Amino acid sequence: MSAPAEEALDRIRGDAPARNHNARTISALTSNPGCNRRAIMDAAGIDKSRLASYVGFPAQFGQSQFAITRGNVFEAQVKADGCAELLTLLRERLALALPEVSYDDLELVGGNTSPELRHARTKTLLARAAAGLDDAGTLFDHPLLRLSVGGRDVYLEPDLIAFQWKGQFHVIEIKSFPVIDGQADGEKVAAAVIQSAVYVHAMRALLADQGFPSDVVADNVVLVCPKDFSNRPTVTFVDVRKQLTVLRRQLSRLTRIDVLLSLLPPTLSLSVARPAAAVVADLRRIEARYMPECLDTCDLARFCRDESHGCTRVMGHTVSEDLGGVETVETALGLARGTLPPSPEQEDAASLLRLAWSLREECFGGVA
Amino acid sequence: MSTLTSLARALAFETGRAVPVAARRHAHLSDRPLVFVPLSLAGEANAPLACLVGSQASAPRLLVVPQPRNRDLRFAFAASLASVVLDYVDSFAASMEVIEGRNVATDAPQLLVANPSGVAFTRLLGRSTRLRRTEGEYAVEPSVPLLGLWLTYFAERNEHPGSSSMLAMTSVLAAHWATGQSTLEDANLAALIGWIDPPPGMSGPEAAAMAEDPVRCPPAGPATDPTFDNEVLAPLVRSYDHAVDDAGRARAAAALGTALRGRGAGDGPARAAGTDVAADVAWGLVAPGPASGSFVAEAMAAGPSRVHRPDGVLARRRPATGANGPSGGGGPPAQPPGTRTGRSHCGPGVRRRAGHGGGPARR
Amino acid sequence: MLERRIDELRTAVRLAAVAGDRVNARALRAELRRAEDAWERALTALGEPSPMPPALVAVGSLLPVREQVHHALTLLTVPAAPRLIVAVHEAFFSGEMVSARLTSLRRDEERSFRSAPYARPYYLCPALTADMLAPARGLLTVSTWSVAERIVGPLSLRVHFLTAAIRVADAVVRLDAPRPATGHLLRRFAANIPGAIDGAYTPMSVAKAARAELVVHEEADRYARDEAARRAVRLTDVQRLFGARLGLVGDEAGEEATG
């Protein structure tokens, strides 16, 4: 990342401290790679929630402390006593040998917690394990990985990594949503899986740098969740190959941030120290790509939704397609009513819409 | 989603109000459904926090778990809920008739919840209660496993297209109206109703925008809003934990009930708790007339759907199970569990009257 | 009237929280607390007893928490996390242990030692990491133990778990009147040591299985800890008890700056 680009991002963010990317934001980014607005905001480390409030469209997020507490309690339980409960499960499912019980906490490096130091230590320990040396290590807690996203380095922290001697690394994610009768909430599992794929990808990159093949990291990630209605953990293996393919593709498509920045005026800034109207004007200069799914994943969604008012896209991709891919509702209705003559590209859409219109008239009659 | 319904959405967007996408009502609505609006604690598998439940609009019961992590309180809640649900189900055994030499109930219980998450909650609550033991170290009241059986039954019926034993209101409404927003946004019951039946002086989108604000219009659940959890719920749960005697605990529980009902300062539809909104919608759906003054109620009440396949083009385009009669039931109706009285009015060897619980709508 | 005010404040706090306005939210929360307290007082005036947080109410333990922790650790003979310490206390000792008190314990013990070194017969101090001799997170030990006994290497957590299992099993056998908490504790060990459960489990089966697995790890573990203990000779008293920070062994100036 070039110095001018870093400066530009700092200017865009303003005085506030930069928020870090994490696996969740990366997976959100890759699910909507065409949104430059999000890419710039995340690269600059902008507090999107604060920004959204500032421009008059506060996000409805926030985390319930009950959920946070429950998550912390469950994670603490799984990791207690050198991950005793997890070891029992891994011995069974991964066939870990009896001597494989070693636990390394990579969070503290003698009290110093700088990311560079932690990452360096993570690299060392993981490489040592991969090389099959005697003190290979089994469980690595709070490892710090690094990934290049849009030309910038992002630090990532999976929950745990397990290593099987002369075998593979497995990414382990501890989640507090339950697995009941072998089934879990599909959406939550999907989100956890995409996140894990980001970690697998980052680990492979880290180890590839040191000359290890990508299959030293397993395609299976280990999800640790509460079993049924209890607090006992249960372990599920999930194959992330599909998500990895999508991720690799999307990451490569993420336009490099400096390219995006070069499209913007040099004075552009989203700092909340500026008057709100100026910030709104500058926000609009960065192209966005709103879809309803943004409401669940991006704090700024309501602003972008309001900005897209009148576009068929606001009602969802399927609706937009059903209306012949026409951009605005007004156009779609005009074509349907026959009051708007279609352009050559709109011919097909127009005939589809006119048919639908007449069907609706037939059923409901007298519609304006 | 077809071009027809998408076109309807475009129209709704233009007019600022939902437009109908069905000429007939395609869901059976009982005269006397049991409305169930649960709230659950964030982060847990299935920790009930509270619920509004009742079969009469005039007197729904609010059940509260003042410390949702306390197992005893949880099962006391389940026992209270069980008494409401089992009384309701039992009441249908009172009216029987003989058809072809068999005893058949003239009407069947119907459970209404706000949204598909409510169905999932019901399924999980059924699962977590039906296998509990009634004796031994962790004994629960005998009504609790029975409640679990019934909740499981209702949730299972919801999976069968054409069955009306359990309905999620957002699904039912969305099958009959198209709004000018996305299906994702339609999952919010208050927003959906805002498009279909906005308060006087407001457009559909304006009403929906108001409904989206969880502080002004608490969600219909089961999920609560995080700011509610952090600012209102957590302190009230703490004061329950810190209470030194039963009086203190009762006060904390009452305070939680008040907070959930959303009463206190200010009244009016905007300030009612999501639980009340959801309940109001349910009653609006089933009790049409000048008293409710609800466009929704009248529209939903209009026109019984026919037993046979209607000839309207619109109906032909709908999936067969939706518009048809009992054939859409997806197999023989599941046998519901017996009731407390020991007399199973829908037990083995008893058949529900044809055209019921998956059949045509009745007024 | 007061209830209306409370309701208004609750709404205001939530709106501020949603808007990310932390300053305002804090001020409003404080006001809300005051209103809620006033409500409580009003009810008290009506003759109802007002609730007091349990920390201010004697809960039947005459021992200070540091004594309770000392007893638990003495039983275990190995470094332990607060969770285990509380569980051991509930399983074998009387009186209630307020686990919230444990969070400030380390800091309090260090402060006490610094102000008057060795004034007390023992101190509760953190375990030390083998590589950096830094304070290990979340583990408590007794200062009277040997340095090697207070050090944790990569295998130590498992070794300590197994050792704790043996100690707990022995203690269960000696116990006159077992309680539910005792059973829970033993079961947790049994469920996570291979061979402890064969259909059923007993304290003996748990201890036996733990010993069997211990054989696999203990030599390598002891070697790592002894080696680290040799390096610890260069530490100051404070560092040896409470851990070296910044990885600079022997840098007293650095210690003071961070201490």
Asked whether B220 and B278 are in contact (CB, 8 A), the reply is: yes
Which chain B residues are closer than 8 Å to A332 by Cβ? Answer: 7, 10
- What is the predicted pLDDT for the residue at B262? 67
Asked whether B177 and B19 are in contact (CB, 8 A), the reply is: yes
Is B346 part of any domain?
no
Is B214 part of any domain?
yes
Q: Poorest-confidence range of A276-285, B340-349, C126-135, C238-247?
A: B340-349
Q: Cβ A353–B181 below 8 Å, yes or no?
A: no
Q: In what order do the strands lie in the sheet with B166-168?
A: B61-64, B48-54, B34-40, B111-113, B166-168
Determine the residue type at A267. T
Separation between Cα atoms, residue B343 and residue B91, nearest integer Å: 12
A338 and A289 fall within a common domain = no
CA distances from A132 to A101, A135, B286 (A): 15, 8, 70
Number of domains in chain A: 3
Q: Cβ A68–B43 below 8 Å, yes or no?
A: yes
Displacement of CA B190 from its chain's centroid (Å): 13
| Residues whose CB is less than 8 angstroms from the CB of residue B345 and which lie 6 or more positions away in sequence, other chains included | B92, B93, B96, B103, B105, B339
Q: Cβ A84–C247 below 8 Å, yes or no?
A: no
- What is the predicted pLDDT for the residue at B295? 63
Nearest to B1 among A62, A314, A322 (CB): A322
Q: Which long-range contacts (CB under 8 A, 24 or more apart) does B52-57 make?
A: B52/B275, B52/B276, B52/B278, B52/B279, B53/B81, B53/B84, B53/B85, B54/B84, B54/B279, B55/B88, B55/B91, B56/B32, B57/B279, B57/B283, B57/B287
Give percent of chain A above pLDDT 90. Answer: 55
- Element counts in chain C: helices (H) and strands (E): 11, 3
A201 and A227 fall within a common domain = yes
Determine the residue type at B341. T
pLDDT band at A131 (very low <50, low <70, confident <90, very high): confident
A87 and A213 fall within a common domain = yes
Look up the domain containing A291 and give its range.
3-60+253-310
- What is the predicted pLDDT for the residue at C119? 92
Q: Are strands A139-141 and A103-105 parallel, antiparallel or unpaired?
A: parallel
pLDDT in tens, B177-208: 999 999 999 999 989 999 998 888 889 999 99
> Helices A186-208 and A241-253 meet at what angle, rounded to 10?
70
SS3 call for A343: coil
* pLDDT greater than 80 at residue B290: no
- What is the predicted pLDDT for the residue at B264? 38
Nearest residue to A234 via CA among A89, A91, A92 = A89
Q: Domain holding A226: CATH number?
A: 3.90.320
B51 has which bridge partners? B38, B63
pTM above 0.90, yes or no: no
pLDDT in tens, B246-269: 888 888 898 888 888 764 333 333
Separation between Cα atoms, residue A338 and residue C63, nearest integer Å: 88
Phi-psi bin for B61: left (phi > 0), alpha (psi -120 to 50), beta? beta
A261 and A356 fall within a common domain = no
Per-residue pLDDT tens, chain C, 259 aa: give them. Answer: 777 788 788 888 887 877 767 788 888 888 888 888 787 777 656 654 444 444 444 445 678 899 999 999 999 999 999 999 999 999 999 888 877 788 889 889 999 999 999 999 999 999 999 988 999 988 999 999 999 999 999 999 999 999 999 999 999 999 888 788 899 999 999 999 999 998 899 999 999 999 999 999 999 999 999 999 999 999 999 999 999 876 444 434 444 434 3
Nearest to B215 among C5, C14, C57 (CB): C14
User: Among A212, A247, A282, where does a domain finish?
Assistant: A247
Separation between Cα atoms, residue B14 and residue B263, nearest integer Å: 36
Is B321 part of any domain?
yes
| Residues whose CB is less than 8 angstroms from the CB of residue C104 and which lie 6 or more positions away in sequence, other chains included | none
Element (DSSP H or E) covering residue A155: strand A152-156
pLDDT band at B328 (very low <50, low <70, confident <90, very high): very low
pLDDT in tens, A215-236: 999 999 999 999 998 889 999 9
* pLDDT greater than 80 at residue B112: yes
- What is the predicted pLDDT for the residue at C51? 46
Nearest to B230 among A65, A293, A315 (CB): A65
A180 and A90 fall within a common domain = yes
- What is the predicted pLDDT for the residue at A1? 56
CA distances from C181 to A335, B133, C77 (A): 74, 22, 20
Which chain A residues are closer than 8 Å to B1 by Cβ? Answer: 318-319, 322
Determine the residue type at A234. T
Nearest-Cα residue of chain C relative to residue A139: C154
Separation between Cα atoms, residue A4 and residue A306, nearest integer Å: 33
Q: Provide the residue count of chain A.
A: 368
Which chain B residues are closer than 8 Å to C8 by Cβ? Answer: 265
Asked whether B39 and B65 are in contact (CB, 8 A), the reply is: no
What spatial distance separates the first Cα and last Cα of chain A, rounded to whole Å?
Answer: 56
pLDDT in tens, A294-350: 998 899 999 999 999 999 999 999 999 999 889 999 999 999 999 999 999 889 889
Q: Cβ B227–C17 below 8 Å, yes or no?
A: yes
C 45-64 residues with CB < 8 A to B: 48-54, 57
Which DSSP letter does residue B233 get?
I
- Percentages (nearest 5) of helix, strand, coil residues in chain A: 50, 15, 35
- The interface pTM score, or ipTM, of the predicted complex is 0.86
Separation between Cα atoms, residue C177 and residue A325, nearest integer Å: 76
Which chain B residues are closer than 8 Å to A181 by Cβ? Answer: 127
Report the 10 Å Cβ neighbour count for C255: 19
Q: State the DSSP string of B73-129.
A: HHHHHHHHHHHHHHHHHHHGGGSEEEETTEEEESS---EEESSHHHHHHHHHHHHHH
Q: Cβ C245–A135 below 8 Å, yes or no?
A: no
For CA atoms B159, B164, B165, B167, the dihedral sign is positive
Separation between Cα atoms, residue C190 and residue A290, nearest integer Å: 54
- C129 φ, ψ (degrees, to nearest 5): -75, 145
Q: Where are the alpha helices (DSSP H) in chain B?
A: 3-15, 71-91, 116-130, 143-158, 169-174, 183-186, 189-196, 204-212, 226-228, 234-242, 246-261, 274-286, 295-301, 313-317, 320-323
Nearest to A101 among C129, C155, C191 (CB): C155
Separation between Cα atoms, residue A89 and residue A76, nearest integer Å: 16
* pLDDT greater than 50 at residue A368: no
A175 and A89 fall within a common domain = yes
- What is the predicted pLDDT for the residue at C38? 81
- B51 φ, ψ (degrees, to nearest 5): -160, 155
Asked whether A270 and A14 are in contact (CB, 8 A), the reply is: yes
**What does the mean pLDDT of chain B come to?**
76
Does A61 contact chain B (CB < 8 Å)? yes
Select the residue from A188, A297, A360 to test the B interface by mutation, using most B Cβ atoms within 10 A: A360
Angle (CA) C169 C174 C177, round 5°: 105
pLDDT band at A94 (very low <50, low <70, confident <90, very high): confident
- What is the predicted pLDDT for the residue at B304? 43
Does A340 contact chain B (CB < 8 Å)? no
| Residues whose CB is less than 8 angstroms from the CB of residue B101 and which lie 6 or more positions away in sequence, other chains included | none
Nearest to B1 among A181, A319, A352 (CB): A319
Separation between Cα atoms, residue C238 and residue C240, nearest integer Å: 5
Take residue B157 and report the two structure tokens written for it.
Answer: 């019926």
Take residue A302 and report the two structure tokens written for it.
Answer: 């309501």
Number of domains in chain B: 1
Which chain B residues are closer than 8 Å to C43 by Cβ? Answer: 251
Take residue C37 and report the two structure tokens written for it.
Answer: 């307290």
Asked whether A103 and A138 are in contact (CB, 8 A), the reply is: yes
- What is the predicted pLDDT for the residue at A109? 61
Separation between Cα atoms, residue B121 and residue B119, nearest integer Å: 5
A235 and A104 fall within a common domain = yes
Look up the domain containing B170 and give its range.
3-221+271-325
pLDDT band at B309 (very low <50, low <70, confident <90, very high): very low
Nearest to C213 among A50, A80, A98 (CB): A98
* pLDDT greater than 70 at residue B333: no
Nearest residue to A162 via CA among A203, A202, A191 = A203
Nearest residue to B9 via CA among A313, C259, A24 = A313
| Residues whose CB is less than 8 angstroms from the CB of residue B297 and which lie 6 or more positions away in sequence, other chains included | B284, B285, B286, B287, B288, B289
Is B186 part of any domain?
yes
Angle (CA) C38 C40 C44, round 5°: 115
* pLDDT greater than 90 at residue B357: no
Is B359 part of any domain?
no
Q: Cβ C51–B266 below 8 Å, yes or no?
A: no
Is B252 part of any domain?
no
Q: HEC profile for A9-55?
A: HHHHHCCCCCCCCCHHHHHHHHHCCCCHHHHHHHHHCCCHHHHHHHC
Is B350 part of any domain?
no
User: Among A275, A295, A310, where does a domain finish?
Assistant: A310
Is B129 part of any domain?
yes
Determine the residue type at C259. G
User: Among A285, A310, A335, where does a domain finish?
Assistant: A310
Displacement of CA B276 from its chain's centroid (Å): 12
- What is the predicted pLDDT for the residue at B292? 39
C147 to chain A, closest Cα gap in Å: 18
- What is the predicted pLDDT for the residue at C158? 97
C142 has which bridge partners? C124
pLDDT in tens, A182-209: 899 888 899 899 999 999 999 999 999 9
